[in-house]
């Protein structure tokens, strides 16, 4: 299974130039009813293009590469590894509006572990693409499961979607929760309950 890039990405269609991107932004400004040549908007196409470079930086990164370096000197450690409350910012592929939330990742090692910063990087790479939350959750869990080959993987994401809170039905305060459970996290109810209990327990390090 390939988790590097979605179908229809710039690798398939050819990436527009920076000038073409800025021209498109000027077109949107005119379509919205304003004049892109007025003083307050002159620099907007450049600023928006630079912002898009940040928002969608995940297309230029290979998530698998972050997981390639693992450590086998774990002294037989085979208990659950959990990284919780990983804040992320993404954009929905339907309205290109922000998705803001937290991801919780766990896995049961199978003789090797990965640096915890790489788990956060994994969320970052997939998050900085046009997404739906269900796909984001599956991509994080699937890539970790494929590359690390652990005994099990669990991923839970809770996020708010501005395409729902600032337009359309306009329901602020609503969050969406998705999960992916693989291996022992799917097959063993006790493992799954332990993971959910850990991510829902209050942190003792909040004031550290």
Annotated active-site residue 92? The verdict is yes
Catalytic-role residue among 92, 104, 131, 139: 92
The answer to whether 94 is a known catalytic residue is yes
DSSP strand pairing (176-183 vs 152-161): antiparallel
Catalytic residue among 91, 124, 133, 139: 133
- Catalytic choice (4, 89, 93, 158): 93
The one catalytic residue among 4, 89, 146, 163: 163
Q: Which of 95, 102, 158, 194 is catalytic?
A: 95
133 is catalytic: yes
Taking the CA atoms of residue 120, residue 67, residue 58 and residue 90 in that order, the dihedral angle to the nearest 10 degrees is -30
Distance CA 130, CA 9 (A): 10
Q: Is 102 a catalytic residue?
A: no
55 flagged as catalytic: no
Classify residue 37 by burial, with Cβ atoms within 10 Å: 0-12, 13-18, 19+: exposed
Burial group, residue 40, by CB count within 10 angstroms (0-12, 13-18, 19+): exposed
Separation of CA 70 from chain center? 21
The residue annotated as part of the active site, out of 55, 91, 104, 161, is: 161
Catalytic residue among 94, 102, 139, 162: 94
- Which sequence positions are flagged as catalytic? 92-95, 133, 161, 163
């Amino acid at each position: 299974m390939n988790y590097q890039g979605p179908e229809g990405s710039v690798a398939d269609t050819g990436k527009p130039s920076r000038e073409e991107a800025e021209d498109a932004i000027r077109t949107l400004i005119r379509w919205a009813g304003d004049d892109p040549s007025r003083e307050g908007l002159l620099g907007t196409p450049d600023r928006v293009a630079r912002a898009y470079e940040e928002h969608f930086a995940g297309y230029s990164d290979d998530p698998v590469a972050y997981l390639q370096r693992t450590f086998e000197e774990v002294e037989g450690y085979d208990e659950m590894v959990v990284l919780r409350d990983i804040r992320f910012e993404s954009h929905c592929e339907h309205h290109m509006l922000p998705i803001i939330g937290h991801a919780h990742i766990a896995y049961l090692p199978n003789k090797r572990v990965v640096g915890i910063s790489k788990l956060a990087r994994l969320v970052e790479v997939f998050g900085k693409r046009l997404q739906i939350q269900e796909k984001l959750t599956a991509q994080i869990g699937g890539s970790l499961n494929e590359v690390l080959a652990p005994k099990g993987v669990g991923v839970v994401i809770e996020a708010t979607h501005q395409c729902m809170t600032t337009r359309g039905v306009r329901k602020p305060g609503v969050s969406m929760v998705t999960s992916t459970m693989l291996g022992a996290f799917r097959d063993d109810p006790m493992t799954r309950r332990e993971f959910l209990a850990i991510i829902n327990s209050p942190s003792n390090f909040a004031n550290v």
